[in-house]
Chain A
Amino acid sequence: MGLFESLASAAPELFTIKTMLLMMVGTMAGLIAGAIPGFTIAMAVVLVLPFTFSMTPVEGLATMIAVYVGGLSGGLMSGILTGIPGTPSSVATTFDGYPMARGGKPGLALGIGVWASFFGGVIASIVLMVVAPQLAMIGLEFQPVDYFSLILFALTVTASMAGDQILKGLMAALFGLLIATVGSDVVFGQPRFTFGIDSVAQGFAFLPVLVGLFAFSRLLGDVRTSEKAHQRLGGNEAHAVHIDYLGAAREVISRWGNILRSSLIGVFVGVLPAAGSTISNILAYDQAKKTSKESDKFGTGAVDGIIAPESANNATAGGALIVMMALGLPGDIMTAIMLGALLIHDVIPSPSFISDEPQIAYSIFLAFFVANFMMLFLQSFTLRGFVLITKVKMYMLAAVILFYCSVGIFALNNITYDMWTLFIFGIIGFVLRALGFPIVPMVLGVVLGGIAEARLSQVFARSDDIMVFISRPWSLFFLLLGCFSLVFPFYQKNIGKMSWTRFFVPALLLVQAVPVFMMPGIARPAVAILMAVTGALMILYRLQNTTNPVAGEPKQSSD
């Protein structure tokens, strides 16, 4: 089935009154969650999850995607009006949005943010519809060993995001994998690490673990002292304004190059495991500043400085969905929760998912597209209400959400065991966060642990030869990428200071050319030759410029 036939078959599933209403409510919930500083989008998606149990897969997924899209856009409101980003994905929006609002143009700043979010989301949904089925076709080439290596790569990337704390990031990822081994093994169903407690034989469902590690540690960290607990979420500066839609639309459309570039950066970052909108908005802002003719105006209320982060963060959601839909692997917390929602409805994403379940798959694509229009519509007249919500005190939110998390988790399987899991992993998450461990690698370790073990068992069922890990091109590709991602934090830290950093990128090209060359067909070996030649030329060029340690490297932004 072609793209348009698939979309036509999915449309009746999605465009029902009930689904549209649910998506409206979801977008509204996401906007509210995004508008509240400190309240992450992941938390909003977690809170919505229990409501989707009684829905059909399309209704449930469409609602969660609406929350996701709403949340990504909601962050701009508090960021622009108060200078406090509603979510980490709106950090860069405050750099120019807040100065523009303070400069007497809050309506224009909000309008630009809303339109940029809209265009970013729409571009990403088009890329999603076109790229995801193609990536899924590549995914069909994957054998268990390739999947296993891909999971290892995802975990190393997640750990490397911890920067200086990469050691703790790796330990957190391994600890997450270890947690996933408790219960019963995936091959024989033998009880494992139960230590005599019968109920532990059922293992830990990953959603209670995820919510415990993530929500508890986050919320309790926010109310640690009385002063923090009594803080109003959005400060006292938030004030309602009217959005200047027409003026903003003119400004945004006239800068279409920035929108396109930032959206594509967003999609690309979203495809990378664990990268997410927290990184894409800053990366897009940096690129917009470097390429702008008015780079000196950045930080004082530049229009491009609002467009870039807002279009990038919305586009990132599309990138993350591409990988989840095409390969069945979650790259971040949001897609991990969505994967959980799909599994609850007995829908198992895999490379054949898009071709086997085109109605559900294309309904999800369409839902992402439609949610952006809903976001635009709802932003236009609900802003005043959102600003009022940011006046709520942190402790009130924490108490209610903790209760709500427990109800939602109980509703998963109707057993109190899950609530105890939530409680225990809440403590573990809080303690580990306090000790400087990143939570995201651990969460992904828990989510991917079972899949990794299943794939590894399939590898060993076929052969005892461990050389298969390096003789399969895709496996070697991901393992080598994983090695480079482990070195990446040191590269990032020493770029321009140590001479070896000049050879990091060319070495990456040269090394990765080997597995790409091993791939079948003509196109990929040709790309491999191009990569090898480029890498070799870069090395030669940089060796000739040994007097300047940073020759050939892009100039780093001083921000």
Chain B
Amino acid sequence: MSLNRDAFVAVFFLFLCAVMFTASTNLPPAMFGQMSPALWPRIILVPLALLSALLLIQSQRHPVETERKTFSEWLQYNKNPFFCFLLFFLFLVTMPIAGMLLGGLAYVFLTLNVLGGWKPSQLGLHAAISAVFVIGMWAIFTQLLGVLLPEGEILRVY
């Protein structure tokens, strides 16, 4: 069996189907003549498992030619999305402390620098973009629309 991209995906979906199907056995049975909570997920899981098996067979019979990359090449290729997700994760994790305003400023500024570069001439532009758009958006939501955005411990007044 050759482990190409589609085979990996098919195995993942088969595993997912197995896990979900097992979890569906813990759901309560049908009551009062109504549909069981497990029925609809099983109706979905059966064809999904069949299609995944079909994809697995297809991946072995007609493997998709993909460019072979070493781990470092792969990491280099996906560097930008990886850092964007990492920064977004940090933005969410620090939300209770930094809040939407400070966290947002840091997140947008760092994302701009990661994607656009760290040259001194760019830093000023990125800082300005962060300030204008984050503070502007924050002001629109909190002042104009009356949405209570997370203020964070740093800026918490009371």
Chain A positions near chain B (C-beta within 8 angstroms): 50-51, 53-54, 167-168, 170-171, 174-175, 177-178, 181, 185, 187-188, 190, 192-193, 195, 220-221, 223-226, 229-230, 393, 395-396, 398-400, 402-404, 406-407, 410-411, 414, 416, 419-420, 423, 426-427, 430, 435-436, 452-453, 456-457, 460-461
Output the nearest chain A residue to B116 by Cβ-Cβ distance. A395
* Chain B residues positioned under 8 Å from A456 (CB to CB): 35, 39-40, 43
- Cβ A403 vs Cβ B115 within 8 A: no
Q: A407-B104, A419-B92 are in contact. Are A229 and B115 (CB under 8 A)?
A: yes
* Majority-rule SS of B interface residues: helix
Chain B residue nearest to A430 (CB atoms) is: B81
Main secondary structure of the interface of A (DSSP, over half): helix
The residues of A that contact B129 with a CB separation of less than 8 Å are: 396, 399-400
Give 1 or 0 for each of B54-96: 1 = CB within 8 Å of chain A CB.
1100100000100000000000011011001100110110010
Whether B51 and A398, one on each chain, are in contact in the complex, defined by CB atoms closer than 8 angstroms, is: no
Contact pick for B40, options A167, A185, A396, A426, CB 8 Å: A185
B84 CB to nearest chain A CB (Å) = 6
Judge if B47 is at the interface, Cβ distance under 8 Å.
yes
Interface size class of B (residues with CB under 8 A): 35 or more
Pair B48/A175 contact, Cβ less than 8 Å: yes
Q: Would you call A410 and B27 a contact (CB within 8 A)? A: no
Whether the Cβ atoms of B55 and A171 lie closer than 8 Å is yes
Q: Is the CB of A54 within 8 A of B146?
A: yes
Contact status of A414 and B147, CB under 8 A, knowing A192-B37, A456-B35? yes
* A167-B35 contact in complex given A54-B146, A220-B84, A411-B147, C-beta closer than 8 Å: no
Q: Which residue of the partner chain, among B33, B48, B115, B141, contacts A398 with CB atoms under 8 Å?
A: B115
A294 to B104, CA, bound (A): 56
The 3 closest A-B pairs by CB, nearest first: A185-B37, A395-B115, A399-B111
Contact of A223 among B31, B54, B84 (CB under 8 A): B84
Measured in the bound complex, the distance between the Cα atoms of B37 and A460 in whole Å is 12
A229 closest partner in B (C-beta): B115
A223 & B145 in contact (Cβ 8 Å cutoff): no
B67 to chain A, nearest CB (A): 13
Verify B23–A193 contact, CB threshold 8 A: yes
Q: Which of A185, A223, A452 contacts B115 (CB 8 A)?
A: A223
A461 near B149: Cβ-Cβ < 8 Å: no
Indicate whether A188 sits within 8 Å of B41 (C-beta atoms), given known contacts A400-B108, A411-B141, A414-B147: no
Give the nearest-CB partner of A176 in chain B.
Answer: B44
Q: Do A187 and B35 contact each other (CB < 8 Å), given the known contacts A171-B48, A224-B81, A456-B40? A: yes
B47 pairs with A174, CB closer than 8 A: yes
Minimum Cβ distance to chain A for residue B144 (Å): 8
Q: A220–B147 Cα gap in the complex (Å)?
A: 28
